Amino acid sequence: VTGANGFIGRSVCEALQQRGYRVRRAVRKPGGEASAETFAIGNIDEQTDWAGALSGVDAVIHLAARVHVMHERAADPLAEFRRVNVAGTECLARAAAAAGVKRLGYVSSVKVNGEATGPGEKFTEEDAPAPQDPYGVSKYEAEQALRAVARETGLEIVIVRPPLVYGPGVKGNFRQMLKVLASGVPLPLASVHNLRSLIYVENLADALIACATHPAAADQTYLVSDGEDASTPVLLRVLGKALGKPAWLLPVPAGWLKALAGLAGKRAAADRLLGSLRVESGKIRGQLQWMPPHTLQQGLQATAEWYRTEHYL
């Protein structure tokens, strides 16, 4: 498991161990989990030496990536994303094939499909890719590079495109949402009528294990989700209740909010709060007989309880 000490990586490793698998962890820097089965591989790019970490491995779950950078400092962000996410992933795949690894599961992103879905629409695996930002472009190019390696070497590739992943330890916008809810600040979002797909981190870990082990998953691409889409107001109300801080939502027209966000240079953030992004996860359920082990309600409850404990609420 690459990125084994990250938000998703920790859940994946724990779930694998619970099922009796021997887990080899690849991390960028040595830390508190140093052991014979933990390898510090340094920076991920086209020159990373994966040989030691891959020796004797049957399958790889590749999570390590350059993800969204809140305060981007790179002069050429796309080049930086490509160095890690495209060249680094191809380097890993070629090293895996050379080491005799049978399968590589790659965690891509729904951003390969696009940024939003229209009323009544859901993204599917058959849609033409339409990445909109450097991160999404790099994930799509990595998928293409992996397929090329698969054709050349016979390495089995499984691509998984999750939407927003949440759970205990979550960072980024979801954690910020919890922080705002906990503060009790009123939010002008009662009039938002959107739907968004999410996936609880333990559900994603379960899906990734299925993708790494199920014979039918070889060379497939899957969209995954909790299977229960929710609007922003519903998410806020469920999380607020679980936090013991009921959401205080005010009715303000979504059009006004978009206009104000545009003036403030926050249009992308507003689109995530106000727009819809839904995925159809029927393919993985049908082909792999996979069902998420936790409901959306259970995932949100666990996330809120973690946040309450972290911040003594």
Measured distance between the N- and C-terminal CA atoms of the chain, rounded to whole angstroms: 34
Checking DSSP bridges between strand 25-27 and strand 38-40, what pairing results, if any?
parallel
User: How far, rounded to the nearest angstrom, does the alpha carbon of residue 13 sit from its chain's CA centroid?
Assistant: 15
**Would residue 21 show up in a list of annotated catalytic residues for this protein?**
no
Name every residue whose Cβ is closer than 8 Å to that of residue 92 and which is 6 or more positions away in sequence. 2, 44, 48, 50, 60, 62, 104
What is the dihedral angle through the alpha carbons of 64, 68, 72, 76, rounded to the nearest 10 degrees?
70
Check 106, 135, 166, 222 and give the catalytic one: 135
Q: Using DSSP, state whether 295 is helix, strand or coil.
A: coil
Count of helices and strands (H, E) across the chain:
12, 8
Measured CA to CA, the distance from residue 225 to residue 245 in angstroms comes to 27
- Active site residues per annotation: 135
